[in-house]
């Protein structure tokens, strides 16, 4: 490589290398299951594969109930509604926008609270100070699959009479003190989106040990029908299809392969990024089970290039690194207009939103790819000041993440 692609060199990769591409599992077993669906001619409405998937997830996590849904956002909305939340719910701004939107969509105001610098999750001390007479719940987010401060948040919720829910979209297959995430709080919400550790093409679930909440959620996910003819509550169509359950079961069966690939990739990044000034790879607790589905670096303010400058260079090389989660939910609409001063209370979240960059990993990424990505980062940081001056003269294109058309 004689020069970076953004300055006219040949891209390091001929095709885009994405942050996350779907884990597939055993294709033959998936096709067998789909064939069975077609033979039965039952495509949805709580079919046998959905029931099997729910049972498998519940058993794996050690919970009483799994209510499978068409996606994780619908699961969040159902959990919020079934839990009877109202007023405000304290939530992190450093999360995917669906966490906040699900609350707002159900008429519950997201009260954004700052995160801890080292964990990237809700800071329990700040949560305590954020409680108002309108607060009905705390919604913790296990960001990157790393558990929230569960005991501290549970203590706050119990003392203040608040519901405690967890957005565990990143955390399927992760544990806390030897206990699988999914079994904490009133309920936890999972995502089985295509790029998650275990996927069902598109899907989600509510997992809980609360019989009443599970019963309400099951009724609500099917338009409020309690039986064949009787509607007993407001509801929506949030059912998981049989095809999604087929993929979910197949993916779940292959989880050991996915664990191994993600650990291999994270170890490769740790080794190849070591010693680069201003770059630190987020770490996971080796004493716990962890899916390691995210390879995320922090680009320190003292680094030779900013996070955004580094991202521009990588995108031109077809390495589609992502700014997770930028700029923070409180700076997206409608929250930016509703809470124009929120950033004053969220210094750590805003600081992290300027530093975090997710790199490609998963079963579609090999150590050889990681070596090239890491070498690009090392070269960029070694020549940072000169590259920064040159970047100032490069006009962004539609393929550049700094352009208006990129996310």
Domain boundary assignment for the chain: 5-21+255-321+360-391, 27-253
**Run of H or E including 100:** helix 97-105
DSSP state of 403: S
Which top CATH class is 5-21+255-321+360-391?
alpha beta
**Run of H or E including 336:** helix 335-338
Residue 398's pLDDT is 73
Q: Looking up tokens 């501290």, which residue turns up?
A: 152
Tell me the H-state helices in 115-198. 124-130, 150-160
Pairing assessment for the beta strands 88-91 and 109-112 based on DSSP bridges: parallel
Distances (CA, A) of 7 to 2, 3, 199, 390: 10, 7, 38, 8
Q: Is the pLDDT of residue 406 over 60?
A: no
Residue 396's pLDDT is 83
Segment 228-254 mean pLDDT: 97
Q: Which fold has domain 27-253?
A: 3.40.640
Segment 6-21 mean pLDDT: 96
Segment 381-405 mean pLDDT: 84
Segment 99-115 mean pLDDT: 98
Neighbouring CB atoms inside 10 A of 395's CB total 7
Q: What is the mean pLDDT of the chain?
A: 96
- How much is the pTM? 0.96
Per-residue pLDDT tens for 157-211? 999 999 999 999 999 999 999 999 999 999 999 999 999 999 999 999 999 999 9
Segment 384-401 mean pLDDT: 88
DSSP state of 189: E
Segment 339-346 mean pLDDT: 96
Half-sphere exposure of 58 (CA within 13 A, CB side): 19
Residue 405's pLDDT is 40
Exposed/middle/buried for residue 305 (C-beta within 10 Å: 0-12, 13-18, 19+): buried
Report the share of the chain in percent with pLDDT over 90. 96
Segment 235-262 mean pLDDT: 98
Segment 48-54 mean pLDDT: 98
What does the block give as tokens for 247? 């993929």
Q: Is the pLDDT of residue 400 over 90?
A: no
Q: Is the pLDDT of residue 5 over 60?
A: yes
Model confidence at 2, in pLDDT bands (50, 70, 90)? low
- 135-141 β-sheet, strand order: 65-69, 204-208, 187-191, 163-167, 135-141, 88-91, 109-112
Residue 316's pLDDT is 97
Neighbouring CB atoms inside 10 A of 287's CB total 9
What does the block give as tokens for 317? 């090389």
Q: Is the pLDDT of residue 404 over 50?
A: no
């Amino acid at each position: 490589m004689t020069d970076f692609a953004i300055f006219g060199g040949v891209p390091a990769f001929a095709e885009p290398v994405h942050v996350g591409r779907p884990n597939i599992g055993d294709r033959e077993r998936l096709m067998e299951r789909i064939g069975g669906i077609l033979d039965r001619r039952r495509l949805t409405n709580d079919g046998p594969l959905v029931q099997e998937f729910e049972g498998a997830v519940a058993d794996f996590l050690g919970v009483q109930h799994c209510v499978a849904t068409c996606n994780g956002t619908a699961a969040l909305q159902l959990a919020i509604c079934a839990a009877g939340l109202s007023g405000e719910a304290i939530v992190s701004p450093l999360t995917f926008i669906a966490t906040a939107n699900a609350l707002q969509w159900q008429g519950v105001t997201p009260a954004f609270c700052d995160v801890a610098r080292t964990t990237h999750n809700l800071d329990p001390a700040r949560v305590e100070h954020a409680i108002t007479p309108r607060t009905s719940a705390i919604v913790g987010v296990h960001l990157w699959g790393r558990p929230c401060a569960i005991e501290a948040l549970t203590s706050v919720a119990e003392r203040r009479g608040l519901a405690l829910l967890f957005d565990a979209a990143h955390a399927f297959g992760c544990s806390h003190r030897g206990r699988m995430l999914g079994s904490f709080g009133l309920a936890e919400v999972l995502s089985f989106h295509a790029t998650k550790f275990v996927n069902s093409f598109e899907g989600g679930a509510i997992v809980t040990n609360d019989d009443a909440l599970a019963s309400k959620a099951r009724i609500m996910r099917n338009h409020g029908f309690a039986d064949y003819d009787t509607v007993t509550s407001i509801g929506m169509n949030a059912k998981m299809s049989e095809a999604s359950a087929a993929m979910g079961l197949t993916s779940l069966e292959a989880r050991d392969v996915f664990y191994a690939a993600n650990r291999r990739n994270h170890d490769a990044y740790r080794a190849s990024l070591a010693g680069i000034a201003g770059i630190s790879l987020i770490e996971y607790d080796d004493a716990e089970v962890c899916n390691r589905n995210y390879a995320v670096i922090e680009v320190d303010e003292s680094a030779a290039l900013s996070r955004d400058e580094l991202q521009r260079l990588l995108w031109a090389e077809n390495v589609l690194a992502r700014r997770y989660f930028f700029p923070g939910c409180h700076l997206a609409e409608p929250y930016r207009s509703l809470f124009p001063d929120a950033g004053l209370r969220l210094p750590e979240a805003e600081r992290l939103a300027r530093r975090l960059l997710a790199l490609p990993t998963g079963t579609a990424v090999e150590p050889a790819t990681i070596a090239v990505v890491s070498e690009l980062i090392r070269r960029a940081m070694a020549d940072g000041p000169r590259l920064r001056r040159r970047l100032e003269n490069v006009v962004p294109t539609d393929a550049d993440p700094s352009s208006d058309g990129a996310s």
